[in-house]
C-alpha cells in the first residue's frame, strides 16, 4: 500500500512539472510591462505544487526499505533546490553585472 502511494505521488509530481513546462508555452497576454507574466506565474504555480508534492514524498522516505526507491524519492526535492539555486544565480548575476 505504501509503495503504491509513493508511485502515485511521484506520478503527480511528474505531471505538475510537465504542466509547468506546458504553462511556459502559452501565448503571452497583456500589454506593456505585464505582457507575458501569465506564463511566468503559471510556471511558478505548477513548480510550487511540485515542491509541495516533493516535500510529501520526502516525508515518506524514511518508511521505505528499497535503496533505489529511497534515492528516487530524493529527486523531486533536489530538482526544486536546483531550480531555486538557478533562479538565485540569475538574480545575483544580473545585480552584479554593470548596465
Q: Tens of pLDDT along 4-21?
A: 999 999 999 999 999 999
The predicted pLDDT at position 15 comes to 97
Question: What confidence tier does 98 reach under pLDDT thresholds 50, 70, 90?
Answer: confident
Cα first-last separation, the chain:
57
For 23-43, letters b (16+ CB in 10 Å) and e give: beeeeeeeeeeeeeeebeebb
d(CA 61, CA 54): 11
**CA dist 68 → 54, 84, 89, 93, 97 (Å):** 17, 25, 31, 37, 42
pLDDT, tens digit (0-9, with 9 covering 90-100), for 39-62: 999 999 999 999 999 999 999 988
pLDDT at 56: 93
Domain ranges for the chain, please list them: 2-96
Amino acid at each position: 500500500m505504501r509503495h503504491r502511494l509513493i508511485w502515485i505521488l511521484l506520478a503527480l509530481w511528474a505531471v505538475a512539472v510537465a504542466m509547468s513546462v506546458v504553462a511556459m508555452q502559452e501565448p503571452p497576454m497583456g500589454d506593456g510591462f505585464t505582457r507575458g507574466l501569465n506564463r511566468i506565474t503559471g510556471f511558478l504555480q505548477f513548480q510550487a505544487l511540485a515542491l509541495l508534492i516533493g516535500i510529501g514524498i520526502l516525508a515518506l522516505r524514511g518508511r521505505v526499505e528499497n535503496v533505489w526507491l529511497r534515492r528516487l524519492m530524493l529527486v523531486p526535492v533536489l530538482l526544486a533546490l536546483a531550480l531555486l539555486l538557478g533562479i538565485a544565480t540569475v538574480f545575483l548575476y544580473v545585480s552584479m553585472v554593470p548596465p
